[in-house]
Amino acid sequence: MSEQKIKALNNIGDRLREIRVQSALNVSELSRMINVPYKSISNYEKGERKPTVEYLALIAEHLGANTEWLLFGKGAMFATEESKKNFDVCSSDYVYIPIYDIRAAAGHGCIVDEETVIDHFAFKIDWFNKNICGSKPDLVIFTAHGESMEPTIKNGDLIMIDTSDKRIRDGIFVVRFDNTLLVKRLSLMPKEKLQIKSDNPEHPTFEVDLKDEDSFAVIGKVVWHGKSVF
């Protein structure tokens, strides 16, 4: 394919497919190379799902793609030293944490379903290691909806939870209650009771019986929250 035609590919899925073809790889080979599921790669290339930041970084790193071309169709398909200086998103200085669609995940009863990943959030690795507790594979991010935890957590804030930390104690957790995922402040009480509180005083406090495992479960502890910048 001529360079002019390559530049004319307006859809990011088309560009992802073209650089794979130009790299003499089929989807299965690329899947094994970068450890991304075949179905996800196929969906990205067909335009059925938006490629995540982490996926674009992997393509840039393993196939030598020019990230500006991948994102905007500008410049050459493959990176040059100049384009790397101007647009480097695949640096090993970053940690990528998946962002999940919490509304889609709630229907499945869990939030760690690969199909509910909508993007990734990048953290500088030095900052991440100093400020985030938890193992990277156990961390997930989603968007808070509602006002029940204001002013601590506001509607639209990003929340990171450690899905490996399910030990019930005082603190802010994501819990499943009657098949609904909630962000709440927990307080352990005597006789296996748990108080579930909202920081917004307009929302009522209620109690659950920890022996009722069918209606209640801890999904993970909130370890960070912040504003989305994209």
pLDDT single digits (tens) 111-165: 545 556 777 787 888 888 888 887 888 898 988 888 899 999 988 888 999 999 9
Residue 19 pLDDT class (50, 70, 90 cuts)? very high
Q: Are 49 and 66 found together in one domain?
A: yes
Number of other residues whose CB lies within 10 A of the CB of residue 220: 22
Q: Are 69 and 99 found together in one domain?
A: no
d(CA 41, CA 16): 9
What are the CA-CA distances from residue 221 to residues 138, 165, 168 (Å)? 11, 6, 9
Q: Are 146 and 180 found together in one domain?
A: yes
d(CA 209, CA 167): 15
Q: Are 17 and 54 found together in one domain?
A: yes
Q: Are 133 and 186 found together in one domain?
A: yes
d(CA 36, CA 51): 11
Range of the domain at 58: 3-86
Domain limit, last residue, from 41, 69, 86? 86
Q: Are 60 and 37 found together in one domain?
A: yes
Number of domains in the chain: 2
Q: What is the reported pTM?
A: 0.62
- Find how far residue 96's CA is from the centre of its chain: 8
Domain limit, last residue, from 86, 105, 125? 86
The predicted pLDDT at position 124 comes to 83
Domain limit, last residue, from 54, 86, 118? 86
Q: Are 71 and 144 found together in one domain?
A: no
Cβ neighbours of residue 127 under 8 Å, at least 6 residues apart? none
Arithmetic mean of pLDDT, 76-96: 66
The predicted pLDDT at position 155 comes to 87
Q: Are 81 and 101 found together in one domain?
A: no
CATH number of the structural domain spanning residue 118: 2.10.109.10
Residue 184 pLDDT class (50, 70, 90 cuts)? very high
Q: Are 76 and 164 found together in one domain?
A: no
Q: Are 117 and 137 found together in one domain?
A: yes
Residue 102 pLDDT class (50, 70, 90 cuts)? confident
Number of other residues whose CB lies within 10 A of the CB of residue 35: 7
Residue 226 pLDDT class (50, 70, 90 cuts)? confident
Q: Are 167 and 196 found together in one domain?
A: yes
Longest pairwise C-alpha distance within the chain: 73
CATH number of the structural domain spanning residue 73: 1.10.260.40
Q: Are 78 and 132 found together in one domain?
A: no
Q: Token digits for 16? A: 């992802």
The predicted pLDDT at position 23 comes to 94
H helices of the chain, in order, are 3-7, 12-22, 27-34, 38-46, 53-63, 67-72, 81-86, 102-106, 125-131
d(CA 159, CA 178): 21
